[in-house]
Amino acid sequence: MQFTSPIPFTEALDKLGAKTVVTSGLDSMQWSAVPVALRERAFRSSTIESARFLQRGRDALTDFLAGARETLPNGEIALKTGSRSQFIRDMSAFAQSEGLGPLDPKLAGTLRDITSERRLGLIFDVQTRQAKDFGDWQQGQDPDVLNEFPAQRFIREKPVKEPRQQHSIFEDQVALKTDLRFWLRINQDFGVPWGPWGWGCGHGVSDIDRTEAESLGLIQPGQTLTPATKDFNDQLESSAQGLDDDMLKVLQQAFGDQVTITGDAIQWSGGAQPVSTVPSIPSVPLVPSPPVRQAPVSAAIKIEVGGILRNAVNSTLAAINGVHDDGQLPQIPIRPSNLKSRGYFLARESANGLTADHIGLKSKGPWPELTAAHEIGHFLDLAGIGSKGTFATSGPLFQDILAAANKSEAISGLKKLASTGNLSVRRHVENYLLDKREIWARAYAQFVTEKSGVKVLTVQLEKSLSSAPFLQWQTDDFKPIAAAIENLFKQLGWL
C-alpha cells in the first residue's frame, strides 16, 4: 500500500519518532538474527552505514507523516515532504551527494542501490506502512474500541506478483485483535502483530464488530477483552533478554557503542559511530518465528465448500500449518455434506489398498473447525503416516499414543458408559467411539487445538467437552497423549 497524503495521528508519529537511527553493514539476512525488540526500535536500512543518510530519511518521513510545512524562497508555504515521489527524488540526490551509490555498475537501479527508485520506494512504503499500521493497532487496543470491534479479518488489499502460500491460507480468517499468537504467526518477516505483514505483501486487515465476532464464537456476550499491548511489550522485551555471551559479542561487534548492554537488558543508545567490520552472525532468528512449512497440510487440501464453512476450513488449516508439516500428501477435496453426521472421511479400495477419496463436512455442524481437524486426522492416518494404503493406527507407530489414551480418564469414562448403557449405547461406544481410528482423530483434533492456541478451536473444544464429557479430554488428562503425538511427529520430521 502506498500513501499519497500525510497520516496525522499521534500513534504513527510516535512510532517513527521513537526509532533510533542505527548504522550497520549487516544485510537483511543478518538483520533477521537481531532480536525483535532491537529491530522494532531501529531506523535502519540493510548495509547502510551512513548516519547522515538515515537521519535525513527519518526526518523526511516524519515530515511526511506530520504534514510538516515550510516557507519557500518565493514566500509560498508547502509540505516539506509532500509525496512518495518527492521523498525518492530528494533522498536519491542526497545519497548521491554522499557518495552512497553502488560501486558495481551492474547493481545500479536494483534494490542494492540506495540511490534507486526501487530501494527508496521500498523504504518509504515499509516505514510509512509500519507507522500507520502500528497506529491502527494501538488505537484498536483502546478498551472502548476493542470491545466494540474485538476482531479483525486478514484480507488481500492488492494483487502481488508472487503470493505467499503461508499468507494465502490465512486470507479471510478472523481472529481477536488480542490473539497475538495468531497475528505473529502471519508476520514472520517483522515479528509484530500488525502490518506490513511481510516484504512485498499485499494483505491488510478489516475490523469485525462484536456481533459478528460473537457469532463466530470468538467472544462471549458480555465478555470484556483486555488490551494486548502489555503482553506484546513483555514479549518484545523478552526477545532481547537471556542472550548467550557469543551473541552479545556479535551484537557489540556489529553495532559498537550504538547498543548498550546492562545486565539482562539491551537497547539502542543512539549517537554512535558505525564500525567498519561486518561480522558473520547467524541467519536463524534468536527468537524463533513460526516455521515456514515446506510441505503444509493446506497444500494437499482442495476446498470445495463456500461461505462460513470455507472460512472454518481455512481457519483449521492455518492452525494445523502452524503446528506441523506433513511430509508429502496426495490431494484430497473437502466437500459439503448433507449427511446426519458432522463430518466424514471417505476412503475407497484400489489396487494398492485404500485410497483417500474426499472429506465431507456438514455446513451447520456445532463445531465445524474442530470437525475439520478430526477428519484431517483420519486423512493423515491413511495417507500421511506409515505405509500408504493402510491405516497407521493399526500398526506399531501408534502404540504409545493409543496406550496413553487407554490410560486416560476420558477413555475409562467411555468404557464405563459402554458397560452400563443400553444395547444401542454400548454398540455406539464400543464399535465407534473406542475404535482406534476414532480415538486418534479426536486426539489429533485436540492436539492441533492446544498446540495452535487458535481461539475458535479452543471454544469449540470446550463446547464438545461440556456436551459430551468423555468425547474429548480435559487438559491434564490429555498431556500424556499430547506428548506421545509430539514424539511421533518428531520421528516423522513434522516438527
* Averaged pLDDT, 447-473: 89
Q: What is the pLDDT of residues 158-180, one digit of tens each?
A: 888 877 777 887 888 899 999 98
Instruction: Place 366 in a pLDDT band, splitting at 50, 70 and 90.
Output: confident
pLDDT recorded at residue 451? 92
Whose CA is closest to 445, among 360, 357, 342, 369?
Answer: 369
Four-residue CA torsion sign, 216, 137, 320, 318: positive
pLDDT recorded at residue 389? 84
Beta strand 151-156 pairing with 77-79? unpaired
Instruction: Say if residue 115's pLDDT is above 50.
Output: yes
* Averaged pLDDT, 44-53: 74
Instruction: Say if residue 71's pLDDT is above 80.
Output: no
pLDDT recorded at residue 446? 96
Q: What percent of the chain has pLDDT over 90?
A: 32
Instruction: Place 396 in a pLDDT band, splitting at 50, 70 and 90.
Output: very high
Where along the chain do its domains lie?
Answer: 1-140, 142-240, 297-492
Helix runs in 141-281, H state only? 143-148, 165-168, 180-186, 210-215, 229-238, 245-255
Instruction: Say if residue 99's pLDDT is above 50.
Output: yes
* Averaged pLDDT, 245-274: 68
* Averaged pLDDT, 379-405: 93
- If you average pLDDT over every residue of the chain, what do you get? 82
Q: What is the pLDDT of residues 316-342, one digit of tens each?
A: 998 898 899 887 889 999 999 988 888
Instruction: Place 220 in a pLDDT band, splitting at 50, 70 and 90.
Output: very high
pLDDT recorded at residue 269? 74
pLDDT recorded at residue 275? 36
pLDDT recorded at residue 332? 94
Q: What is the pLDDT of residues 290-310, one digit of tens each?
A: 455 567 888 899 999 887 888
pLDDT recorded at residue 255? 76
pLDDT recorded at residue 272? 39
Residue 159 CA to residue 167 CA, distance in Å, equals 13
* Averaged pLDDT, 178-197: 87
Instruction: Place 315 in a pLDDT band, splitting at 50, 70 and 90.
Output: confident
Contacts by 351-356 with C-beta closer than 8 Å and gap 24+?
A: 352/388, 352/389, 353/388, 353/389, 353/390, 354/382, 354/389, 354/390, 354/391, 355/330, 355/389, 356/330, 356/332, 356/382, 356/383
pLDDT recorded at residue 376? 96
Q: Is the model more confident about 215 or about 166?
A: 215
Q: What is the pLDDT of residues 398-412, one digit of tens each?
A: 999 999 999 999 999
Residue 459 near residue 421 (C-beta atoms within 8 A): no
Enter the C-alpha cell of residue 84: 512518495
pLDDT recorded at residue 10? 64
pLDDT recorded at residue 132? 85
pLDDT recorded at residue 29? 65
Single-letter code of the amino acid located at 405: A
pLDDT recorded at residue 284? 35
Whose CA is closest to 229, among 192, 204, 264?
Answer: 192
pLDDT recorded at residue 240? 63
Enter the C-alpha cell of residue 478: 490429555
Which residue shows C-alpha cell 463456500? 306
